[in-house]
Amino acid sequence: MSGGLLRSRYNDGDYQAFFEAVKDCYEGIELYTGQFTNAESEGLMAIAEDLGLEVVSVHPDSLTELHRTENGSKELVTEVNEYTCRYENEKRTKTRDVDNMTFHPPQSEEPLTDADWDVVVNNLSKAEEKLSKYSNGGVVSLENCAEFEPRYIISCLGDVQALERAAEDQGETVNMTLDLGHAPGHTYEDMAELVYESENLMLSNLHVHDKILEDKTLLSDMRSDYGFPDGKEIGTTDWEGEVDHLPIGQGEVDFDAVSKFVEGDDLMTLELHPSWAERPRAVRESAENLDRLIH
């Protein structure tokens, strides 16, 4: 998949080794800086650019990370979700109402400044020019993924909105999978409702992490509220067999193996999941799945 785009949300891995392993397979990187200090973000960008990976987009928000960092308070999650919706809907206006938005940076990071927003706007502009007008990090662009079956794994509300716009404008019906492993719990319903009401999106699967599987009430409510008639039936799956969205952990992952895998035609998005580094069993299973898929 030479020329694809790497999305990375992981903040404690060996980025130097990882970037070196995939630098020949990707031309750009989209950074989610929700857990980074400004200095750390600049360091990551420098590592990537030294290896020839262009930083095409920088996002100061991350639903999953802010949700976890602030102990999942309902008020904060709602606030961040509203911010993300505005961010997606208004990113082309190059204006930000930051004065009325209480942003909660992790640890001791300084609050966002106008200069920070200038960087974000400039990089978003570069990303749109480089990818396509429908691109949301290069993941949901129909043009960029034309060689793939029309199947997308979506993990945040902004991605659903972008994919819906692209599918509607092109008059296509897109099969997709909702990944309930990133966004705060209450946004699952937002995503499901958008898919349910869309004439161009078909929910073919509900991809869940084991932690979410334990929440039987959430899954039951979604099935009853959004029964997805006309083929939009919600199902579940595990990681095995997934080849277009492969979560991997840190430490036990063979970076050479990752490099070999991403050179194939099946991988659409490679994401590093922060929570997996805290779960050794999941990391080992993920590495085993990766090995099976390669061979």
Per residue in 187-212, pLDDT (tens digit) is 555 666 676 677 777 655 444 443 34
Q: What integer pLDDT is reported at residue 191 of this predicted model?
A: 64
Structure tokens at 213: 């599987």
Q: What integer pLDDT is reported at residue 194 of this predicted model?
A: 72
The number of domains in the chain is: 1
pLDDT tens, 139-184? 322 222 222 233 344 445 555 666 666 667 666 666 555 555 444 4
Q: What integer pLDDT is reported at residue 239 of this predicted model?
A: 29
- Judge whether 98 lies within some domain: no
pLDDT tens, 230-275? 322 333 333 233 323 333 322 233 333 333 333 333 332 333 332 3
Q: What integer pLDDT is reported at residue 79 of this predicted model?
A: 33
- Judge whether 59 lies within some domain: no
Is the Cα torsion angle 216, 220, 226, 228 positive or negative in sign? positive
- Judge whether 223 lies within some domain: yes
Higher local confidence (pLDDT), 82 or 24: 24
- Whether the per-residue pLDDT at 50 is higher than 80: the answer is yes
- Judge whether 200 lies within some domain: yes
Structure tokens at 38: 């400004």
Domain extent, residue 211, equals 134-237
| List of residues 6+ apart from 130 with CB closer than 8 A | 28, 54, 56
Mean pLDDT of 23-45: 61
- Judge whether 66 lies within some domain: no
Q: What integer pLDDT is reported at residue 267 of this predicted model?
A: 30
- Whether the per-residue pLDDT at 68 is higher than 50: the answer is no
- Judge whether 60 lies within some domain: no
Q: How far apart are CA 61 and CA 96, in angstroms?
A: 13
Q: What integer pLDDT is reported at residue 281 of this predicted model?
A: 37
- Judge whether 156 lies within some domain: yes
Please state, rounded to an integer, the average pLDDT across all residues of the chain.
44
Q: What integer pLDDT is reported at residue 237 of this predicted model?
A: 32
Mean pLDDT of 59-77: 35
Distance of CA 235 to the CA centre of its chain: 21
CATH of the domain at 200: 3.20.20.10
Q: What integer pLDDT is reported at residue 181 of this predicted model?
A: 46
